[in-house]
Amino acid sequence: MYEGAIQDLIDELGRLPGVGPKSAQRIAFHVLSADPADVNRLATTLQRVKEAVRFCAVCFNVAESDRCRVCRDPRRTDEVLCVVEEPKDVVAVERTGEFRGRYHVLGGAINPLEGIGPDQIRVRELLSRLGSGDVRELILATDPNTEGEATATYLALLVKPMGITVTRLASGLPVGGDLEYADEITLGRAFEGRRAV
Amino acid sequence: MYEGAIQDLIDELGRLPGVGPKSAQRIAFHVLSADPADVNRLATTLQRVKEAVRFCAVCFNVAESDRCRVCRDPRRTDEVLCVVEEPKDVVAVERTGEFRGRYHVLGGAINPLEGIGPDQIRVRELLSRLGSGDVRELILATDPNTEGEATATYLALLVKPMGITVTRLASGLPVGGDLEYADEITLGRAFEGRRAV
């Protein structure tokens, strides 16, 4: 509907996830009236991400060098390894400030309906890391949904015979939540996992 | 929370209107795994918009040359001029396929609370266009809100003495809407503007 570049930009922005036609138009007009330096910075950052960001050769977290920040940190213990699905889960766990071990990013979860089996995620790489013998505990922090649970169950079966303690993040009521509004599965898990006070 | 470029991109995206931290993260990871050619096209389009898109010297619509597509079209009449607030309003009117005249884009609406008076929008430029004598009808298509109504009232007072017919878009029930859910002002306007059938 618009002439030339502005319509091209609306089209390009509309291809991004979660950006509908109205948002794309709003962002395009924002760009049109924004400081050229700001727009330039966004454009070069977009290109820089494709050039600079790689995946850590050890844990497959996002990294700017061969190894990510967590893998480079000498103060962290190699004895505890936390398995997550995606780099954003690393950020979520880091934000708690509770974990001082290392990570392993699978790059997804087992989902037979979409053709994702153990070979499509980084299970082989995980087993080869466990082979070094440093790891005493493997924390399965995949998502608490069907795919995440299936992945955790699969990994537990695979790793337990290696003599490594395998744990799973607790399921239960979210802190600050309302018991009344908890779904029945979550509430059921909270009962199952109840602890003496 | 992330390392280097990916965090920079999340920060830059988060500055765009309507993009919150979660969307910014989602878009950044999409970019990370997207085809480099697609990302490059988005980046260059962003820069091209700043270089190529200008405002039409006649009507102030967005344009890639001195005059916009509407102003360049010899099949359109100069006798009817439609005044809108923003270039996106031109697109909205064009989409109806009902209008064959020209536009004048004010670049905003009168809003004393934000210090926007007639001198901050393109009223002077409108009056100089009307001075040419071609225009027989001026359609005020500013938004049907406080600022848009104030702007329309102001322009009507200014232009009527010039012997030009001044009209305002009809207010009423949106087509496909539900009478029950119409707000009282819209429903009141629909009563006021009722027509014989």
Q: Is the dihedral of CA B60, A34, B19, A3 positive or negative?
A: positive
| pLDDT for res A35 | 92
Structural domains in chain A, CATH included, are: 5-52 (1.10.8.420), 74-168 (3.40.1360.10)
Evaluate if residue A194 carries a pLDDT over 90: no
Average pLDDT, chain B: 92
Residue of B nearest to A35 (CA): B50
- Give B193's pLDDT tier (boundaries 50, 70, 90): confident
What pLDDT digit, counting tens, does each position of A33-51 carry? Answer: 899 999 999 999 999 998 8
* CA distances from residue B87 to A14, A166, B30, B75, B90 in whole angstroms, order as listed: 19, 60, 30, 21, 5
| pLDDT for res B149 | 93
Closest-CA distance, A68 to chain B, in angstroms, reads 8
Q: Name the least confident of A130-139, A162-171, A179-188, B32-41.
A: A179-188
Q: Any idea which residue has 């213990």 for tokens?
A: A77
Residues 87-126 of B with CB under 8 A from A: 87-88, 91, 94-95
Task: With CA atoms as reference, report the closest residue to B131 among B167, B98, B104.
Answer: B104
A to B CB pairs, distance under 8 Å: 143
Do residues B71 and B59 touch, judged by C-beta distance below 8 A?
Answer: yes
The whole-number average pLDDT for the span A102-106 is 97
Closest-CA distance, B117 to chain A, in angstroms, reads 20
Terminal-residue alpha carbon distance, chain B: 64
What pLDDT digit, counting tens, does each position of A47-65 carry? Answer: 999 888 989 999 999 998 8
**Contact B18/A28, CB-based, under 8 Å?**
no
The whole-number average pLDDT for the span A25-31 is 93
Enumerate the residues of chain B whose CB falls inside 8 A of the CB of residue A8.
Answer: 45, 48-49
What pLDDT digit, counting tens, does each position of B92-134 carry? Answer: 999 888 899 999 999 999 999 999 999 999 999 999 999 988 9
Residue of B nearest to A25 (CA): B88
Beta carbons within 8 Å of B156's beta carbon, 6+ residues apart = B140, B166, B168
| pLDDT for res B76 | 96
Please name the residue ranges forming H helices in chain B. Answer: 5-14, 21-33, 36-52, 69-72, 87-96, 123-130, 146-159, 184-192
Do residues B151 and B142 touch, judged by C-beta distance below 8 A?
Answer: yes
Q: How far apart are CA B34 and CA B181, in angstroms?
A: 43
| pLDDT for res B126 | 97
| pLDDT for res A192 | 84
ipTM (interface pTM): 0.78
Bridge partners of residue A83, in order along the sequence: A104, A140
What pLDDT digit, counting tens, does each position of B178-192 carry? Answer: 888 888 888 888 888
Helices B21-33 + A36-52 axis angle, to 10: 50
Whether residue A1 lies within 8 A of chain B, CB to CB, comes out as yes
- The burial of B195, by beta-carbon neighbours within 10 Å (0-12 exposed, 13-18 middle, 19 or more buried), is given as exposed
Q: How far apart are CA A168 and CA A152, in angstroms?
A: 8
| pLDDT for res B197 | 81
